[in-house]
Amino acid sequence: MIFMASNGKKLLIVESPTKARTITRMVGNDFNIMASMGHIRDLPERELGVDIEHDFAPQYVAAGRSGKVVSELKAAARKADEIYLAPDPDREGEAIAWHLQEVLRNDFKGDFKRVTFHEITRSAIEKALASNGAVNMDLVDAQQARRVLDRLVGYRISPLLWSRVAKGSSAGRVQSVALRLIVEREREIKAFQPEEYWVFKLKLIAESGVEFTVKLARIDGKNFRIDNVTDAAALLDAVLNHRSCQVGNIDRSKRLRNAPPPFTTSTLQQVANQQLRFSASNTMRVAQSLYEGVELGSRGAVGLITYMRTDSVNIAAEARAAAAAFIRENYGKEFYPERANFFKSKSGAQEAHEAIRPTDVTRTPESLKDFLDSQQLKLYTLIWKRFVASQMAKAEFAQLNVSVYVQGADAHLYDFRAAASSVIFPGFMKVLGNLSAADDNDDESAVDASGALAKLHDHEPCRISDTLKEQKFTEPPPRFTEATLIKELEENGIGRPSTYATILQTIQNRKYTAKVQNKLEPTELGCRVTDFLVQMLPTLFDVKFTSQMEAELDEVEAGTRKWTEMMKEFYGDFQQWLASARDFGAVEGDKLNILIEAMKNIEFAPAEKNGRFVRDDRKFFNSIASKLARQAKLTEKQFNALLDLAIIYQDQLPDLQKLSQEAGFAEELQAACERFEAKKLKDAQAASQGLDTAGLLKLFAAFDKVEFAEPTVRRGRTFDDKKFFDSLRTQAESGKLLSSKQLEALGKIALRYRENIVDYPSVAAVLNLPDDTELAAEESANTVVNDEIARLLEGLAQVTEWAAPERKGRRTYDDKSFYQSLAEQFNNGRKLSDKQLAALKKLAEKYQK
């Protein structure tokens, strides 16, 4: 809670302390500025908190630790003559403003004034204060509808996941659809069958002596596909033994490329992920700091960018005029278009909002480098360049397209093509940098960067100096990155600017996806959750249905639909879907009663404590019998658990096989027998290796004196040794064995903390780890390698002129950034891979002189 005290009687409330500090210096002594620290009320954490019977009324409670904050706000409200509510200009901000109004209503008898601004600058705040209004209840209703909708879905469906998939798993109305996209893409990749095809190129020498390369695009004016080596050889033979070979008509043209629009939330997240490798959540965190204000020395705290949650590409007239003056002065009047650039936002965008832009275009990245940290500077540079470029003139290119026609020996006409592109006028690329000349060329043409094509003449004869045939295979669709998933979500109308980062963070925090080399891959748990939800509730987790719900929320926000009517319509369908899901795969009928009756006389083993868990077969049986008496059916998972219990006590059930045949559960019983035998074998193998439950508990006890390192964050992922270790220990204490991957991970932890482990040699023997002698030898070898790495890095540290970043396809190769990342990794004590060491050696050789 931040309280900015003054003698004024006007109270202005924002969400965050940083925002409060920045605004304080702009409004003078007439105002007290206070921060609500986000939401002061929310739905309760451990109960539904929605009164379904009374129009889905939310049952709000104090949020988190807001008690002290609310007390201070109430005290300030009682002393105020005027109260201005200034949370962010979106649904969430409007809801915060409304909650503040509701909580403070008894402490302030005047009218609350809602003020919104899209940038934290003196002029914007003064304008907002002068044009204050009331809380927009349509926006509040839209936020409440989303909150209630998400609570109902999560609260009602997550328990199904606990019983059918895994304890602790959860479903989310939007996050689960995002996960579905990732899982379905992964299955497309796994199911993909590569298809062979061949590419053909010719090296030609024109009659004038010009040498150039062309690529086969058409045969007899039609697309073609050669899918085997025999046909490829026959084609090349026909071309080599051609009847004629000459240039066709050379197409020379000029092409314009429009400036890109300024950033919205989704495009900023996409480009920051592609170019800076920022995660969506990190992009929003850094953007928030730039929006709320950064200390600029004697100038104090200044908001550097406009509000960062927006789907609009609109630009305020004042900002457009400032950009025009800046461009003319710094780049020349020819770089400003004859007519200002205007961009059309997507349907449903908030037109009252602006795109993300710098609040003052004259604050160049260079002028701010002493005040921003490295991530702030990178993101600000991205935003500043994109905004300035968006207001600049079009880029102009000279385009050259050449076709060479070869009349083959087989009477077919082969059309080979090449293309070249050169910049006539850079326009907006003066700021964004030259884009690849190949970006606009199709895949049918060979790209010429040498300038040779410009020297050719129409209908000029050519001779073939060399041929190239290359076997290729079609590739599966790529895995989603955060950038491409956000684009997919936006194109399908799923989520909104304020939710993209949260969606991505949630599915990763829940371990439903893992980020591997910046790509999102579903985990085994993520696949199981998706399969269950799509099978049980296909409509609810359908992409189109989710998009439709977003559109209905937009209608609520626009005031054309009541949120309670929307909820009633949804909930009627939702109850039916939920009932079907609960009954899916349910087992009922005589087989259950016969099995329960047969097991009633079993003498169950006494309850047994295993670590912190107690196994009590009698208690479990009674709970199943009681459930069956109430509901007359069991879930498939419960029925299988009952059969597993019956197999354990089959000595007391001599007629079990006969009963299963008569009652119709022989197949299920056989499956239970197979599970039992497999578990027996696994337990025996684990016991022989000292990795049964008793052995594992003894193993974990050896770590009791280990003090684990604090969690670290690398590449957006949190690594917490203690949390992971505790999860493995909990699993072992519950009687479950560890998988080979889990044992491997435990071994890595043991190596890391071996000096604090009691009797490390015994632990090493069980986990098949190197002993002290082997470790000493390995450390000696590592010392040699580390000395070499240190020498290479030290040499590269002396480089004063690095090669400019080079773009190849979609990737940018930047020697300096690569060196810095390896140096940081090495200095933080993390081992370089063999591949990284090889690349480091090549880099050192490159700059050796």
- Evaluate if residue 449 carries a pLDDT over 80: no
pLDDT in tens, 246-262: 999 999 999 999 999 99
- Evaluate if residue 200 carries a pLDDT over 80: yes
Q: Of 818 and 232, which is predicted with more confidence?
A: 232
- Evaluate if residue 716 carries a pLDDT over 60: no
Return the sign of the alpha-carbon dihedral for residues 692, 693, 698, 702. positive
User: Quick one: 425 and 536 in the same domain?
Assistant: no
Q: Looking at 60, 84, 291, 307, which residue is catalytic?
A: 307
- Evaluate if residue 693 carries a pLDDT over 90: no
813 is catalytic: no
Q: How high is the pLDDT of residue 788?
A: 82
- Evaluate if residue 813 carries a pLDDT over 50: yes
Q: How high is the pLDDT of residue 5?
A: 44
At position 429, the amino acid (one-letter code) is M
The number of angstroms, rounded, from the C-alpha of 92 to the middle of its chain's C-alpha atoms is: 21
Could you give the C-alpha distances from 611 to 114, 192, 262, in angstroms and in order? 57, 46, 58
Domain assignment present for 809: yes
Q: How many other CB atoms are there within 10 angstroms of residue 281's CB atom?
A: 20
Contact 487, 480 (CB under 8 A): no
Return the sign of the alpha-carbon dihedral for residues 712, 715, 716, 721. negative
Domain assignment present for 421: yes
User: Quick one: 162 and 271 in the same domain?
Assistant: no
Both tokens of 111, joined, read: 């009218």
Best-predicted range by mean pLDDT (233-247, 421-435, 692-706, 741-755): 233-247
Domain boundary among 669, 688, 707: 688
User: Quick one: 555 and 518 in the same domain?
Assistant: yes
Q: What confidence category does residue 781 fall into, taking pLDDT thresholds of 50, 70 and 90?
A: low
Domain boundary among 649, 667, 688: 688
User: Quick one: 783 and 828 in the same domain?
Assistant: yes
Q: Of 171 and 740, which is predicted with more confidence?
A: 171
Radius of gyration of the chain (CA): 34
Q: How high is the pLDDT of residue 578?
A: 92
Residue with tokens 């000096």: 755
**CA dist., res. 99 & res. 388, Å (int):** 39
Q: How high is the pLDDT of residue 789?
A: 84
Both tokens of 538, joined, read: 């296909």
Contact 588, 631 (CB under 8 A): no
- What's the average model confidence in pLDDT over 403-424? 95
**CA dist., res. 453 & res. 401, Å (int):** 8
Domain assignment present for 83: yes
pLDDT in tens, 598-655: 899 999 999 887 656 678 889 989 988 888 888 778 878 888 889 999 999 999 999 8
Q: What confidence category does residue 448 fall into, taking pLDDT thresholds of 50, 70 and 90?
A: low
Least confident residue range of 146-150, 195-199, 468-472, 785-789: 785-789
pLDDT in tens, 679-689: 788 777 766 66
Q: For residue 342, what are the domain limits?
A: 265-390
At position 640, the amino acid (one-letter code) is N
CATH number at residue 271: 1.10.290.10
> Which of 646, 644, 659, 752 minimizes the C-alpha distance to 708?
752
Both tokens of 367, joined, read: 């002028």
Number of domains in the chain: 7
Count how many Cα atoms sit within 13 Å of the Cα of residue 158 in the half-sphere of its side chain: 18
Distant-in-sequence contacts of 57-65, Cβ < 8 A, 24+ apart:
58/144, 58/147, 58/148, 60/99, 63/38, 63/39
Contact 22, 302 (CB under 8 A): yes
pLDDT in tens, 336-378: 999 999 998 876 555 458 999 999 999 999 999 999 999 999 9
Contact 331, 392 (CB under 8 A): yes
User: Quick one: 61 and 98 in the same domain?
Assistant: yes
Q: How high is the pLDDT of residue 712?
A: 77
Q: How many other CB atoms are there within 10 angstroms of residue 459's CB atom?
A: 11
User: Quick one: 730 and 625 in the same domain?
Assistant: no
User: Quick one: 429 and 456 in the same domain?
Assistant: yes
Count how many Cα atoms sit within 13 Å of the Cα of residue 585 in the half-sphere of its side chain: 14
User: Quick one: 15 and 130 in the same domain?
Assistant: yes
Residues 6+ apart with CB under 8 A from 543: 177, 180, 181, 492, 494
Domain assignment present for 496: yes
Contact 706, 758 (CB under 8 A): no
Least confident residue range of 321-330, 362-371, 806-815: 806-815
Residue with tokens 């003054």: 6
- What's the average model confidence in pLDDT over 726-746? 83
In degrees and rounded to multiples of 5, residue 668 shows phi and psi of -65, -40
pLDDT in tens, 542-571: 999 999 999 999 999 999 999 999 999 999
**CA dist., res. 656 & res. 728, Å (int):** 36
Q: Which helix (H) or strand (E) holds 406?
A: strand 395-407
Q: How high is the pLDDT of residue 385?
A: 98
**CA dist., res. 763 & res. 696, Å (int):** 10
* Percent residues over pLDDT 70 in the chain: 92
**CA dist., res. 304 & res. 288, Å (int):** 10
Contact 86, 8 (CB under 8 A): no
Both tokens of 12, joined, read: 């202005």
Burial class (CB in 10 A: 0-12, 13-18, 19+), 221: exposed
Q: What confidence category does residue 500 fall into, taking pLDDT thresholds of 50, 70 and 90?
A: very high
Averaged confidence pLDDT in the chain: 89
Domain assignment present for 47: yes
Q: How high is the pLDDT of residue 1?
A: 44
- What's the average model confidence in pLDDT over 91-108? 96
Count how many Cα atoms sit within 13 Å of the Cα of residue 180 in the half-sphere of its side chain: 24
- Evaluate if residue 3 carries a pLDDT over 60: no
Count how many Cα atoms sit within 13 Å of the Cα of residue 846 in the half-sphere of its side chain: 14
User: Quick one: 19 and 129 in the same domain?
Assistant: yes
Best-predicted range by mean pLDDT (404-418, 432-446, 826-840): 404-418
User: Quick one: 271 and 382 in the same domain?
Assistant: yes
User: Quick one: 314 and 213 in the same domain?
Assistant: no
- What's the average model confidence in pLDDT over 495-514? 93
User: Quick one: 712 and 600 in the same domain?
Assistant: no
**CA dist., res. 432 & res. 814, Å (int):** 16
Residue with tokens 């539904």: 48
CATH number at residue 200: 2.70.20.10
Residue with tokens 């609570």: 151
In degrees and rounded to multiples of 5, residue 476 shows phi and psi of -70, 165
In DSSP notation, 407-448 reads E-TTSPEEEEEEEEEEEEE-TTHHHH-PPPGGGGS-TTSEE-
Domain boundary among 583, 608, 629: 583
Domain assignment present for 140: no
CATH number at residue 162: 1.10.460.10
Query: What's the whole-model pTM score?
Result: 0.76
In degrees and rounded to multiples of 5, residue 349 shows phi and psi of -70, 155
CATH number at residue 16: 3.40.50.140
